[in-house]
């Protein structure tokens, strides 16, 4: 069976910066899907894509307080609205992939999975496995889900990726974001921030500041990514955080090159 790669495309990369208006960053998305298509032509691998939300998810989720759970039924309108907004972004991602000749197929988390206090406790993968074996490319995303403890809540793409990586026994996990990897300080705030090429639970204290750059990020930004991926590494699955903004990096990562960003391992 060809190796399985789970790729996360960060919301910060595939959407435009403006937090008021939800818009796809078509220029980035176009280049990224081209890199994916080129890598797939050069190498045979199974691929699952998970993308983030940007303003498509974070803005309505915040507006309706979905990250705090279900407190009154007016939030159900927010559940519906946020999911639909994410579907709109998902449509674009699938559409761009298809235009590059990739047999992508939308995969809706909100109608499939169940959370318990923001952690996935149920997410069936039988269909997913069949699609992957047929060499289709399922495209899931961060979404709003039923939560057994809080009513409803947000499933972060950064949580779905390691969950699927374990369940589907992925060979590799690639996280494409808007910075080169994890630094000792937030590189957007500090010019002298230093990239950490490898992170394990041993050297994690090299990081002096980690968080998220955006006020409206409801899912925890880089800190959440790191915690999720360190936990994944315990199960023997390494991951790499790379820049999706620097052309060519994603393709090289998909083709198996390491050391392009920050490697997270046991």
Collect contacts of 195-198 with beta carbons under 8 A, ≥24 apart.
195/261, 195/262, 196/262, 197/259, 197/262, 197/263, 198/262, 198/263, 198/264, 198/265
Applying CB under 6 A, the site for ligand ADP has a residue count of: 23
Q: What is the DSSP letter of 262?
A: E
Out of 63, 71, 169, 188, the residue judged to bind ligand ADP by CB under 6 A? 188
Considering the rule CB under 6 A, would residue 228 count as an interface residue with ligand ADP? Answer: no
CA-CA distance, 169 to 182, in Å (whole number)?
25
Among 55, 162, 187, 261, binds ligand ADP (CB under 6 A): 187
Those residues whose C-beta lies under 8 Å from the C-beta of residue 157, and which sit 6 or more positions away, are 8, 11, 50, 51, 52, 53, 140, 141, 142, 219
Stretch that binds ligand ADP, among 28-36, 131-139, 216-224, 228-236 (CB under 6 A): 216-224
Whichever of 52 and 151 has its CB closer to ligand ADP, that residue is 52
Residue closer to ligand ADP by CB (options 80, 214) is 214
To the nearest whole angstrom, how small is the minimum distance from the Cβ of residue 161 to ligand ADP?
10
Q: Is residue 216 close enough to count as binding ligand ADP by CB under 6 A?
A: no
Tell the residue number behind the tokens 């050297």, with chain if given.
Answer: 203
Q: Which residues bind ligand ADP (CB under 6 A)?
A: 10-12, 52, 177-179, 182-183, 185-188, 207, 209-214, 217, 221-222
């Amino acid at each position: 069976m060809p190796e399985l790669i789970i790729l996360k495309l960060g919301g910060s990369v595939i959407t435009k910066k403006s937090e008021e208006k939800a818009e796809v960053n078509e220029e980035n998305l176009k280049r990224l899907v081209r890199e994916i298509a080129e890598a797939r032509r050069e190498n045979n691998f199974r691929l699952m894509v998970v993308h983030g939300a940007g303003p498509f998810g974070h803005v309505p989720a915040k507006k309706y307080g979905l990250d705090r759970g279900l407190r009154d039924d007016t939030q159900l309108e927010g559940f519906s609205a946020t999911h639909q907004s994410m579907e709109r972004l998902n449509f674009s991602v699938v559409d761009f992939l298809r235009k590059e000749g990739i047999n992508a197929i939308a995969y809706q988390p909100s109608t499939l999975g169940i959370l318990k206090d923001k952690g996935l406790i149920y997410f069936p993968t039988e269909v997913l496995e069949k699609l992957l074996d047929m060499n289709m490319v399922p495209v899931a995303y961060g979404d709003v889900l039923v939560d057994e403890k809080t009513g409803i809540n947000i499933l972060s793409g950064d949580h779905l990726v390691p969950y699927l990586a374990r369940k589907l026994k992925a060979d590799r996990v690639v996280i494409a974001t808007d910075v080169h990897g994890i630094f000792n300080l937030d590189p957007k705030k500090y010019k002298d921030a230093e990239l950490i090429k490898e992170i394990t639970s041993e050297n994690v204290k090299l990081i002096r500041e980690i968080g998220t750059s955006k006020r409206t990020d409801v899912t925890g930004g880089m800190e959440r990514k790191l915690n999720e991926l360190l936990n994944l590494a315990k199960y023997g699955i390494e991951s790499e955080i790379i820049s999706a903004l620097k052309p060519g990096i994603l393709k090289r990562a998909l083709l198996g090159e390491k050391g392009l960003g920050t490697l997270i391992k046991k």
